Structure 1
C-alpha cells in the first residue's frame, strides 16, 4: 500500500512538473523592458483624419518579451489607403511611425516609445504568376502562407529557415535561410513597393530607384513602409534527406564539398550543446536532388507534428546538463529514425532507404514548440557572421565564453551566406552564420549576464573579422556597432536624406542614430515613378 502511495505521489509530482513544460502559451509573453529609455516625440498638431486604431495607447512588446514599450497606438491597415492615413496623422502630430510584422526582432526594431505602430499583417495578398516564376505578396504575408499558395509545383527561392516571419520583416533585415546557393532574401527579390514618409508610393529594384532598394533591404523599416514585393520562385524539387556527424574542425572541408555539389539544394549544421562535447560535434544536414525522384508525387504541406513532445524536449534542455546531453543524444540517434518523409519510400523506386521530402517541407515550420508559458524566463536569439576561413577559431572562442559565463545554450547552428550588397550588409564577403538560441532569467541579474555575454561575443566576432546581426537585443555600444559596421554613419545620413522630418523610427534607430548625427548629410537621389497614395 505504501509503495502504491509513493508511486501515486511520484506520478502526481511528475505531472505537475511536466505540465507547464508542455503547455501551449496563453498569449505573448510580457516580461518588462531592457530597452534604453527614449523620450516620446510629440510636436505639431493639425486637423487630419484619425487612423483606424486597433489599439489606442497602451504598450507593445516583441518576441524577447523584454521590450515593453508605451506607444501612441497600433494601426492595422487593411489597404494602402489606411497606411497613407496613418502616415498623414503621424506627420500632423509629430509622431514617429514603425512598421511591424510578427515582431520577432528582439530589440524594439518594430516600434518606438510614443510612436505609431503599423501592424502590417492585414496586407497579406498573394498572387502567383507561374509563367514569370514569381509571386507578388503583401508586406504582411507570412512565408507560411506563401508556401501554401505556391505548393506543390513551386517553392520560394530564399526565405528564413522557419516560416513564421512576415515578408516585410524578412526584407527589412535581409534574412537568409537554408539555401546556401540562393543567398539572402535580397537575391530573390525582383522589386519592392514602398510608401515613403511623404505618402508617395514608389517601386524600387536593382534597376529602378536602385539606391533606395539597397537601403530599404536590410534597412529596418527606416526608409519606407513595405507594401508589397515581387519574389522569385523555383521548382519544388524533391530532395533526399541526408545527415552526417563530424568533428567541428572538419566543417570547412565538409562545406567545401557541399558547395561544389550542385545537387545539394539546402544545407545547415547543428552544433552540440551537450556539456561534454559543447560545440565540438556537428550534425551536417543536407538535402540532395536526384533527377529520378522528380516525377514522384508531392504531398500536401503538413504542420510539424509532436509539438508538445518537442516543447518538452526543448524546455527540459534548459533545466540542467543532463537534459542537454539527452537532447543532443536524441538528435544524433533517434530523430532521423522518426523523420517525416512526405514522399513515401514505396514511391521512391531505386532510392533505397532515403527519406524524401519536397523543398518546401524542411522550411514549413512555424516553431510552435519554441513558445511556452514558463514564467521568469525567456529565449533569446543571437547571430554572428564570420569569415569562412575563421569559423574554427571563432567556435573555439565561443566555447570558452560559454563555459566561462555558464551560458544556457539551447541550440547552435551554422548556415552559409554569400556576399550581400545592401547598404548595411552583414556579409560584405562570404561568411558562415552562427545562430544561437539562448535561455535567460528575466531578472535584473539575468539581463545583465545576457548583456555581458552579448558584448563578449560581439568582440570575439570583430576580432575574427566578422559582424553581428542587428535585429536582436541592444546590448552593444555605439562603438561596437561602428566597429562592426563602419558604414553605419553613412546609413543614418542616408536615412535622414530620404526622411528629413524623421517620420520613420524605432527603438534601434533612437538608441544609435544620435551618436552618428555629425555624419555629413547625404544627398537624396531623385525618385522615378513616385505617385501619391490612392
Structure 2
C-alpha cells in the first residue's frame, strides 16, 4: 500500500513536471518568436530565426519563404531602431554566426570578411599588423553587413562614409543567384545595397580597404559654437595632421545648445612610437558611466553636472596619445539601457558646414518650446559623397547625433514623433538631411525632400526583388502605396 502510494506520488510528480516543462518550453518558444530591436518600440511575432554558418542555409530560407508566401528579414546586432531588421511573421536571418575572416592582404591593405563579423573582429585581427579600419561607427560592436546596409560614417574626417572603403562584396539575391558586386561588376547594385537596408539581398562577404594604425595626440578645447564652422574649416579640415575629429554640444539646461567643446586627433610624429600604445583598449568604468548617464537621463541637475564633468575631464592642456584603432573602440556598454516605461532612441541630422550656427539657434528655439528629453549631442563631420542612391551627405556636412529618452506608451510615442517631425522640418529648411536607420517618425514628404532619389531606389527594389521577398518595416512605411 505504501509502495503503491509512493509510486503514485512519483508518477504524479513526473507527469506534473513533464507538463510544466512542456508549458515552459512552449512559453520559451513563443517568447523566442517575438522580436524587436534595441529601441524596444516595435515588438512583433516572427515566424522563425535562421542562424546559419553556411550559405546553403540562407538559400534554403529564401526558398522556404517563397514556397510558404513569407518574407525574409536580415539581422545583425539590431541597433537600427525602426524595424529594419525584422518583419511580422517573417523568417529572420541572424547573420551574427556567419562571421569568419576569409582573406587578408597586408601589402594591399585589404581584408575580406563574412558579413556577420564585427569591427571588433577585424580590429583584433589587423592590429598586430599595424593596420586599422578607415570608416566605421564610433563603436566597434556592429556587424560589417549591418554597417554596409546603413552606410555608416564615423570620426574620420578624411574618408567620408563607409561606401568609400568597400571594394566589393558578394550578394545572395532573391532568385537564389550569388553575384559579385563592385564599382565595375554588377555596378548598379553597388550603391543600392550599401545604404539599402537589406532590401536587395543578403550580403555574404565583403572586401574592405584598410589604412595604417597611426598614433594620434588627442587635444580638446572649449569653443564658441558660433565660431565652430570657421574653426573647423581652418584648424581641422585645413590641417592635414588632423585625421579624426568630434565635438559635443551641451544639452544641459543651464547652457542648452550654447556651450561646446571639440576634440581633435592629430598625427603624433614618428610612426614607430605607436608600439608604446598599440595594445587594444577594453571598456572600463562601465558602472560609473552608467550611473552618470542615468543622472543625465533623469534629472536636469544631472544634465548640468554631467556636462560640467565632461568638460572638466576632456578639456585640459595635457596631451593624450592614442592609436587609431583605440579611437575607434569607443565605449558602448554604458549606453545599454532597459526600463519598463522608457527607452533611449537616436536621431541624426546632417547640416551643411556653413549653416551650423544658424541651425543651432533655430533648433534651440524649436526645442525650448517642446517637451523632449534630449540628453546628449555629438557632432561629427561627413564629407560630400553621393555614391549611394540614398546618400545623406549631399554637401560637406556636420552630423548631429542626438540621444533622446522617450516613453514606451502610444501617447509618448506620438509626442516624440511630433517633436522629431518639427526638428526634421528645421533641418530641411537648412538644406539638411536626416539618417534613415531610426524610428519611422518622419513623414513620407519629409523622406522625399531629404532623399530626392528615393523613388528611384524603390523602383529598383521592385526590379531586383519583384516578389518583395526581402522585407522590413522601413520598406513597408516608405516604399508602399499611400
- Tell me which residue corresponds to 1:203: 180
- Tell me which residue corresponds to 1:449: 415
1:282 aligns with 2:248: no
- Tell me which residue corresponds to 1:137: 113
Hey, which of these two has a bigger chunk of helix by percent? 2
1:512 aligns with 2:482: no
Tell me which of 249, 255, 279 is aligned to 1:300: 279
1:405 aligns with 2:382: no
Tell me which of 342, 345, 351 is aligned to 1:380: 345
Q: Is the 8 A contact 1:57 1:72 kept in 2?
A: no
1:94 aligns with 2:69: yes
Q: Is the 8 A contact 2:424 2:446 kept in 1?
A: yes
Secondary structure in 2 aligned to 1:451? helix
Tell me which of 137, 142, 145 is aligned to 1:165: 142
Shift of 1:254: 1.4
Structural RMSD (CA): 1.7
1:258 aligns with 2:223: no
Q: How does 1:32-181 map to 2 (within 5 A)?
A: 58-126=33-101, 127-152=103-128, 153-181=130-158
**Which portions of structure 1, spanning 4 or more consecutive aligned residues, are displaced by more than 4 angstroms?**
54-57
Shift of 1:445: 2.6
Q: Supply the distance in 2 between the matched residues of 1:362 and 1:377 (Cα, whole angstroms).
A: 31
Number of residue pairs matched by the alignment: 449
Q: Is the 8 A contact 1:79 1:122 kept in 2?
A: no
Q: Supply the distance in 1 between the matched residues of 2:440 and 2:408 (Cα, whole angstroms).
A: 15
Shift of 1:178: 0.3
Tell me which of 276, 289, 308 is aligned to 1:310: 289
Q: Is the 8 A contact 2:214 2:274 kept in 1?
A: no
Shift of 1:515: 2.9
Q: Which runs of 5+ in 1 are unaligned?
A: 1-53, 338-351, 517-534
Shift of 1:336: 5.8
Q: Supply the distance in 1 between the matched residues of 2:410 and 2:55 (Cα, whole angstroms).
A: 42
Q: Is the 8 A contact 2:220 2:314 kept in 1?
A: no
Shift of 1:425: 0.9
Q: Is the 8 A contact 1:249 1:392 kept in 2?
A: yes
Shift of 1:366: 4.8
Q: Is the 8 A contact 1:55 1:75 kept in 2?
A: no
Tell me which of 240, 262, 265 is aligned to 2:217: 240
Q: Supply the distance in 1 between the matched residues of 2:85 and 2:259 (Cα, whole angstroms).
A: 36
Secondary structure in 2 aligned to 1:229? strand
Q: Supply the distance in 2 between the matched residues of 1:484 and 1:287 (Cα, whole angstroms).
A: 31
Q: TM-score, normalised by structure 2?
A: 0.90
Q: Is the 8 A contact 2:350 2:434 kept in 1?
A: yes
Shift of 1:287: 0.5
Q: Supply the distance in 1 between the matched residues of 2:209 and 2:39 (Cα, whole angstroms).
A: 31
- Tell me which residue corresponds to 1:321: 300
Q: Supply the distance in 2 between the matched residues of 1:367 and 1:208 (Cα, whole angstroms).
A: 37
Secondary structure in 2 aligned to 1:194? strand
CA deviation map 1:420-465 (0-9, x unaligned): 2111111122211111001112223321221111111111111111
Q: How does 1:342-491 map to 2 (within 5 A)?
A: 353-420=318-385, 421-491=387-457
Structure 2 vs 1, CA of residues 86 and 56 (structure 1 numbering), >3 Å: closer, same or farther? Answer: farther
Q: Supply the distance in 1 between the matched residues of 2:452 and 2:278 (Cα, whole angstroms).
A: 48
Q: Is the 8 A contact 2:337 2:343 kept in 1?
A: no
Q: Supply the distance in 2 between the matched residues of 1:311 and 1:261 (Cα, whole angstroms).
A: 35
Q: Supply the distance in 2 between the matched residues of 1:135 and 1:403 (Cα, whole angstroms).
A: 48
- Tell me which residue corresponds to 1:345: none
CA deviation map 1:155-177 (0-9, x unaligned): 10111111121111110010000
Tell me which of 465, 468, 471 is aligned to 1:502: 468
- Tell me which residue corresponds to 1:220: 197
Secondary structure in 1 aligned to 2:298? coil
Q: Supply the distance in 2 between the matched residues of 1:275 and 1:241 (Cα, whole angstroms).
A: 28
Q: Which runs of 5+ in 2 are unaligned?
A: 1-28
Structure 2 vs 1, CA of residues 202 and 286 (structure 1 numbering), >3 Å: closer, same or farther? Answer: same
Q: Supply the distance in 1 between the matched residues of 2:405 and 2:31 (Cα, whole angstroms).
A: 33
Secondary structure in 2 aligned to 1:193? strand
- Tell me which residue corresponds to 2:3: none
Structure 2 vs 1, CA of residues 305 and 336 (structure 1 numbering), >3 Å: closer, same or farther? Answer: farther
1:192 aligns with 2:152: no
Shift of 1:293: 5.3
Shift of 1:412: 0.2
Q: Is the 8 A contact 1:164 1:365 kept in 2?
A: no
